Chain A
Amino acid sequence: MIVATALGRPMRVLVVEDEPMIAFVIEDVIDTLGAEMLGPIAQLEDALLAARSEKFDCAVLDVNICGEKVFPVADILLERRIPFLLATGYDSTSLPGHLAGVRRITKPYTITELEDGLKRLGAELR
């Protein structure tokens, strides 16, 4: 897959998703793209730690994890200039203003949508 690599090695994707069923799908897509999954992480605390310290090229963040909002993780990624996808069942109005322009995929999303999103992230990395 063309997009699965970044800087000559498989692209590493942080997945923050508390729902294992969905995480399986994401995992499948990442596998399909030839990328590498970091996660999935179901707890915000763990996600924050990973976002700060782990090495990865991009991320897929579920907005709502274990009843908490994933926005602090997004802030860190923005700061680290790591591109990411926000996956959410809420509409855009429930996002904080500074995240309004972030790439999103709306739950329930199809595999194709997720693939497209990840491809775009990969394209941005190049």
Chain B
Amino acid sequence: MTEAGKHAGSEARDEAGELLSDTGTSVSIAIASTQKPHFTVGIGASAGGLTAYRAFFEAMPTDSGMAFVLVQHLDPDFDSTLAEIIGRSTTMPVLQAVDGTVAAPNTVSVIPPGVLLRIENGVLRVATPPSIAARRSSIDVFLISLAEDQGDHAVGIILSGFGSDGTAGIGAIKEAGGLTLSEAEFDHHAKLGMPRSAVDGGHVDDILAVEDIPAALIKHQQFRARHVLEPVLDDVPVSKKPQHLAAIFSALRARTGRDVSQYRSSTLIRRIQRRMQLLRIDDMGEYAAQLSTIKDEPQRLFQEILISVTRFFRDAAIFDIIADKILPAIVGGNAEVPVRVWVAGCATGEEAYSIAMLLHEGCARAGSPRRVSIFATDVDERAITFARAGLYSEAIEADVTRDRLDQHFIKEGSLYRVAKHIREMCVFSTHDLIRDPPFSKLDLISCRNLLIYFEPALQQRVVETFHYGLNAGGTLWLGPSETISGNALLFRAVDKRACIFSRKDTSARSRPSVLAEPNIRAAAVAVSPALDKIDEEAARVMARHAPAYVVLDARLEIQRFSGSVARYLAPTEGRATLSVSQMLLGPLRAPARALVQRALATQSRAQELVTFEAAGDADAVNLIAEPISANFAGQPFVVLAFQETSPGPVKPLDARGQPDTSSELAAAQAHLEAVTEQLETANEELQSSNEEFQSVNEELHSTIEELETSKEELQSINEELQSVNTELNERAESLIRSNSDLANLFDSTSIATLFVDGQHRIRRYTPAAADIFSLRAGDEGRPLSDIATRLAGGAPIGDVEVVLRELASVEREIDTLDGAATYLMRMRPYRDLKDVIDGVVITLIDITERKRLERDQAHLAAIVDSSEDAIIGHDLDGIINSWNHGAQKIFGYEASEIIGEPMTTLLADHQLDEWPSAMDRLRQGMPTTNFDISRVTKDDRVIHVSLTISAIRDPAGKIVGASAVARDIAERKAAEERANLLMAELDHRVKNILAVISSVVGQTLRAGGSVAEKSAEVDGRIQAIARAHSLLTGPGGTDGSLRDLVTLELAPYQQGTNIDIVGEDVALTSRASMTIGLAIHELATNAVKYGSLSTDRGQLAVAWSITDVSGRANLRIDWRETGGPPVTAPSGRGFGTKLIELALRRSLAAIVDREFLETGVTCTIVVPFTKGIGRTLPSTDE
């Protein structure tokens, strides 16, 4: 009924009032330009949205001037093709939004996957959601921003989808004055969670089939193009409000029983205008006229006026008082019994949750174990649904302290959900305070800002109901302007300002029968406006002539008195009651009861003439019982009228003419009283049944609540399962991909790989392994030992066992049987995902080529190492990186001490400057070949090497270093020096010889004589020199043989035995050899000319020996001529004599004794036999 409406209505008044005062305006309708207003349409959808989108855009004109933004729940991990798909249904450009996309007219923007979309100043903003949960409210996020950004130019549409995303956003748009639409349930087999949730939120203006939504949008646009909302003065006195308002109030009251005339007119006009927009009615008068005729419109208008907005901890100061003064007593009560609280008119639940938090904190503070049940009721089912969800926007941060937010709420994206411990304290149910039975045994009732909308009489009854429901001493908490006037007997004020009251334990706890009352009143109200003034007056006049009557309910309790019924009444002693059987005069009681029951049973009029005694006079009255045709709240009512008759024989007397009926009467009375007692008993039984029903009712509420909660849990489980399913699908896909990757790897790898399980059975293998192990398709599962492999030693079973036993890898080289190939076999334990060993993985890598290369390399290395030459590798920075044995021999450094050092280590200090240019040459690729240079060894010796430097290039041809080959050329160098020395010596000697010859020639010529003679002399002397010299250059080196000298000199003159040469051979130095040679030559020449050799008989004896004279060795040569012609001493000292005497003496310090005897010439030459002269030769057989 009305409680939530009025409650919320007061809020609407407050909130809307504030909202309007912000702009200082109210609104009215005026004609404006016909330009199309720009609308931004936010469309939210989830599962099933695609079909709905297509249907929508196929029906949507493409030149509407509206901008469309689609917010779809998308899988964040997949690229969305939504824009493309929708693009096929409309010619408007459809684009996936990016940050900064302008929501331009006649365009469609689509949310990208995995983001939150907002709109600011007509520009779309893309943000990463802070959590996965936040993504689930992406529609809310966008619609709320749309409402803030576009105000009443925003349009929110909720299409198919699970869950409740969008509901809050639709609310925001509606609050901002925008248009809100939802997909109709019957449409497209849609997933209806979201549309239904939005509708349940109470903020959807119209529910339409998707195909009809575009038309509605166009109509809305056209309406808005004709009208703009203009401000009018607010707070116009009621009397001055537009006349149409009164008509609207009246129609609303007539159709819904709700009186909104006390609402603020600005709020009302705004709300009425929104209805007019939707109905496309331009004139308020016309609306007022049509209000009653359009189906459900009064209810919709009322719903529009209800904006179920309330707040957490409203009037926080009073909450503090409750916490301080009231709760401790409640919390400290009997721990066995739960605390019971009733929040009547809870609207969207904030009040109930606030009290729950308060109690939770109170219990925690006092350490009380008492359980708490809060019954939160409202007549508005949609508000209850919202309250049950317990999901609130960030706006509550203004009302709830940070501590409480942290403690009692869970943040879900931009929303707060009431935590479980608070939610479980509250039971929400729809409940009509006026019609439905109350809750009982309560510790606290909160019913704030509700009573003020009730008539005083109804207020009183409600307060009585609360009195009934509360425990002794229980607390009633009313709104600030509400009182318990007229019920002072039932409650006493605890805190008047805070409107907190305590129940007085006065009368018996009987539930006041308030039920039918407001219904009747409502009916009367409903009729009254229809009464004509004349009818009213006529009725008033006629009332004086009409019979007196009472109205009874089915329990025969009097509900109405009318006319002068006093004549027929006689209240009995005892408990006051309105029961007709207690109130009527004794004689009338039974007939009246019978008549009423008959009338109820037959639903028709029943009447009886009854006589009775009143004030001693017999009187008769015609009792008429007639049921009231309409039932109110399921209760039958009966009118019992007392039609007076003229006194007379209304009842025929019996034949005797005296009223001999007293005994009969007494019997009847006794019977009636028995019946009455029976009825009272029944009545009591009914009362106790009623109480039972009440508790059953409560249980029912709780059960419903539990079911609702279960349903919600199931829904969330369902959602979770959906996400799990999606994840599993993804994982399956990723597994398929991995598997495919592995299969491809297996097929393409050239590394032979074999998987063997714990029982040595082959599990899987690569094609390369099939070749080596001679495997064929179908060999999977066969034991490895069964396989005849190509490997030497067969299948490596032993290794497999080792790996399985020791769980360590095995690695070794293995040859094939034919020895043609070598493999590196690695065997590792196979660990499954749980790290359990389940077999081994065998890989075989073909290293045949590598082995060959290794051998080649070793060979080359051996060559390099065995070379006598230094072979040194260095990089472009001159850092040495290889060093062979030859290098060690030549330079003295060990490889270990020189590698890493610069090449300049091997240079002398003065060579350091040349090095950079040498490196430049190298970088330019210019080789250095056989370049003789000196280098420095480890012990600082300078050595001479022949150096060849060649560049080392990488496979790309880039120079990366150099090899330097250095050969020690010390020996060659020495030979060269020796040769040079020899050359110089030779030069010297030649010149010397030439000087000697020059001297010989000169001296010979000086002596005079014929040219022929001189020529022969010169010739002979030069030949003698040449002979002496040829001996020196022959074998034996620099020394000449004395015997050879003499023999050669005398050979031309030898004839048979004429010359006798005797002497041990002696080696002569070159100088001695020449001087002695020349002397012999001169002696021989003289002998041939004048001496013994000039005749055939002459004899010549030449003998020499080494003699020892007082410790000094002398060479004595004896020349003795015999048999020749007589000789005489020569006349002068010719050159010949000089050569024999002077030369020997001067040059060799010799003593020459020449005698010209008769028999022939003798000459004795004694030469000191020093080193400068010669040496003895070892004796030979010759």
Q: Residues on A close to B: CB < 8 A?
A: 18-25, 28, 40, 42-43, 64, 66-67, 88-90, 94, 106-111
Contacts and interface: CB of A to CB of B under 8 A. Distances in A.
B988 A20 contact: no
B1127 to A, nearest CB: 25
A28 B989 contact: no
26 contacts: A19-B995, A19-B996, A20-B1075, A20-B1146, A22-B992, A23-B1147, A24-B1003, A24-B1135, A25-B995, A25-B1002, A25-B1003, A28-B1002, A42-B1147, A43-B1172, A64-B992, A89-B991, A89-B992, A90-B987, A90-B988, A94-B984, A107-B991, A108-B991, A108-B995, A108-B997, A109-B995, A110-B998
A16 to B, nearest CB: 12
Q: Identify which of A18, A24, A106, A110 gathers the most chain B CB atoms within 10 Å of its CB.
A: A24
Interface in B985-1010: 987-992, 994-1000, 1002-1003, 1006
A89 B988 contact: yes
Contacts of B400: none
B1147 A19 contact: yes
A107 B1147 contact: no
B996 A21 contact: yes
B511 interface: no
A20 B1139 CA distance: 8
Given A66-B1172, A89-B992, A22 B1147 contact: no
Nearest to B1000: A21
Contacts of B952: none
Nearest to A89: B991
A66 B1071 contact: yes
Q: Identify which of A20, A25, A94 gathers the most chain B CB atoms within 10 Å of its CB.
A: A20
Interface residues of B, number: 31
B515 interface: no
Given A66-B1172, A88-B988, A108-B998, 11 more contacts: A18-B1147, A19-B992, A19-B1147, A20-B1147, A21-B995, A22-B999, A24-B1142, A90-B984, A107-B991, A108-B992, A108-B994
Contacts of A42: 1146-1149
- For chain B, what secondary structure do more than half of its interface residues adopt (helix, strand, loop), or is it mixed? helix
A41 B724 CA distance: 127
A60 to B, nearest CB: 13
Contact of B987 (A23, A24, A89): A89
B1169 to A, nearest CB: 15
Contacts of B998: 25, 108, 110
A64 B1147 CA distance: 14
A106 B1075 CA distance: 22
Contacts of A24: 999, 1003, 1135, 1138, 1142-1143
Contacts of A90: 984, 987-988
A112 B1147 CA distance: 24
A37 B778 CA distance: 123
Contacts of A23: 1146-1147
B1152 to A, nearest CB: 12
A39 B583 CA distance: 197
Nearest to B1072: A66
Contacts of A64: 988, 992
Nearest to B986: A89
B371 to A, nearest CB: 126
Interface in B1130-1145: 1135, 1138-1139, 1142-1144
Interface of B: 984, 987-992, 994-1000, 1002-1003, 1006, 1071, 1075, 1078, 1135, 1138-1139, 1142-1144, 1146-1149, 1172
Given A19-B996, A108-B991, A28 B1003 contact: yes
A40 B1146 contact: yes
Nearest to B1144: A20
A87 B1075 CA distance: 20
A20 to B, nearest CB: 4
Nearest to B988: A89
A94 B1143 CA distance: 29
A40 B1075 CA distance: 15
B995 A22 contact: yes
A12 B1139 CA distance: 24
Contacts of B991: 89, 106-108
Nearest to B1173: A66
B989 A89 contact: yes
Contacts of B1143: 20-21, 24
Contacts of A67: 1172
A35 to B, nearest CB: 18
Q: Identify which of B995, B1002, B1071 gathers the most chain A CB atoms within 10 Å of its CB.
A: B995
A21 B988 contact: no
Contacts of A111: 1002
A110 B1002 CA distance: 10
A40 B998 CA distance: 18
A64 B993 CA distance: 13
A5 to B, nearest CB: 24
Nearest to A40: B1146
Nearest to A25: B999
A112 B895 CA distance: 68
A28 B1147 CA distance: 17
A115 B1147 CA distance: 23
Given A66-B1172, A111-B1002, A22 B989 contact: no
Nearest to B998: A108
B983 to A, nearest CB: 11
Given A89-B987, A89-B988, A108-B991, A22 B996 contact: yes
Contacts of B989: 89
Contacts of A20: 1075, 1139, 1142-1144, 1146-1147
Contacts of B1139: 20
B990 A19 contact: no
Nearest to A27: B1142
Nearest to A19: B996
Contacts of B1144: 20
A73 to B, nearest CB: 17
A66 B1170 CA distance: 12
Contacts of A66: 1071, 1172
Contacts of B1002: 25, 28, 111
A115 B1075 CA distance: 25
A107 B995 contact: yes
Given A42-B1147, A89-B987, A107 B994 contact: yes
Contact of B992 (A28, A107, A110): A107
Contacts of B997: 108
Nearest to A63: B988
A19 B1025 CA distance: 13
A66 B1070 CA distance: 10
A45 to B, nearest CB: 10
A90 B985 CA distance: 8
Contacts of B1003: 21, 24-25, 28
B1054 to A, nearest CB: 27
Contacts of A19: 992, 995-996, 1071, 1147
B1076 to A, nearest CB: 11
A66 B1146 CA distance: 13
Nearest to A46: B1149
Q: Identify which of A25, A28, A90 gathers the most chain B CB atoms within 10 Å of its CB.
A: A25
Contacts of A94: 984
Nearest to B992: A89
B37 to A, nearest CB: 117
B1067 to A, nearest CB: 15
A67 B985 CA distance: 10
A104 to B, nearest CB: 13
A18 B1071 contact: yes
Contacts of B1148: 42
Contacts of A28: 1002-1003, 1006
Contacts of A107: 988, 991-992, 994-995
A39 B473 CA distance: 167
Nearest to B1143: A20
Contacts of B1075: 20
Nearest to B1003: A24
